[in-house]
Amino acid sequence: MSDLTDTETKETEETSDFPEWMAQLPSEYKKDEYGKPYKTMGEFYKTHKGLKAKLDSIPKAPEKPEGYEFPEDEATNKDLLKWFRKTVHSLKVPKDHAEKLYVQWNEYVAGEMAKRTKEQENALVKLDELMHGEWGADYDKNMGYVDKAIEDLGGEDLKKALEETGAKNNPAILKALKQIGFEHSDDTLREGVVAGVTKKRSLDDEYPSMKGIPDRQ
């Protein structure tokens, strides 16, 4: 007569396909498929010790964003650097990987900025050649009108906006500014400036309501 109860006999039959060493494990792990490939406890231990060593050797992110070390100089954008630190830390990017990424990103940005600067320089050369060809001997005088229009309409703020947006590099805008500066250079509208005008027109012609106002001395 067997000393095993029916329950124990059933458990023994269910675990017979698993390595004997797994019988020592808590009941919830005795039939865990994860341990089945390992024939002995020693084999299981050796495998997982090696796995842990590999996991421990994987580069990790520092505990705090300040743990990253990035090169800085006078041109460094502090706000951008702060954002980069927080971002790579939130993504758990390993320290050495993040630092290499930062250097490569800065090199890329510097290259793109140099490329853009070169393109702008080439555009200015082409614009200069175009306007010289169109204005000829009047080039310097007309550019003076352009400067006057910018000064009258918006001063340094307008000049900065035109330069930052590249609008001043547009021939049509340049010619429009020249025309405005030309008209601002005197109190009369010059002959032939506007299509259909065949003679000089005074401000009284343009603004009838101003008639009768004493002339300025």
pLDDT in tens, 60-80: 899 999 999 999 888 888 999
pTM of the model: 0.48
| pLDDT more than 70, % of the chain | 78
Look-up: residue for tokens 């590099």?
A: 169
pLDDT single digits (tens) 20-61: 998 999 989 888 898 888 999 999 899 888 888 888 788 889
- Predicted confidence at residue 189, as pLDDT, reads 43
Q: Whole-angstrom Cα distance, residue 94 to residue 86?
A: 13
- Predicted confidence at residue 7, as pLDDT, reads 54
Q: Whole-angstrom Cα distance, residue 23 to residue 6?
A: 17
pLDDT band, residue 14 (cuts 50/70/90): low
Q: Whole-angstrom Cα distance, residue 172 to residue 162?
A: 13
Residues 6+ apart with CB under 8 A from 123: 166, 169
Asked which of 11-25, 107-121, 140-154 is least confident by mean pLDDT, the reply is 11-25
The pLDDT of residue 194 is above 50:
no
Q: Which residue(s) pair with 6 in the sheet?
A: none
Residues 6+ apart with CB under 8 A from 58: 94
The pLDDT of residue 200 is above 60:
no
Residues 159, 150 contacting (CB under 8 angstroms): yes
pLDDT band, residue 114 (cuts 50/70/90): very high
- Predicted confidence at residue 186, as pLDDT, reads 65
The pLDDT of residue 133 is above 80:
yes
pLDDT single digits (tens) 149-187: 989 888 889 888 888 888 878 889 889 999 999 988 864
The pLDDT of residue 4 is above 60:
no
C-alpha torsion sign, points 89, 93, 94, 96: negative
pLDDT band, residue 192 (cuts 50/70/90): very low
- Predicted confidence at residue 155, as pLDDT, reads 87
CA 23 to chain centre: 59
Q: Whole-angstrom Cα distance, residue 23 to residue 65?
A: 47
Residues 6+ apart with CB under 8 A from 67: 61, 89, 95
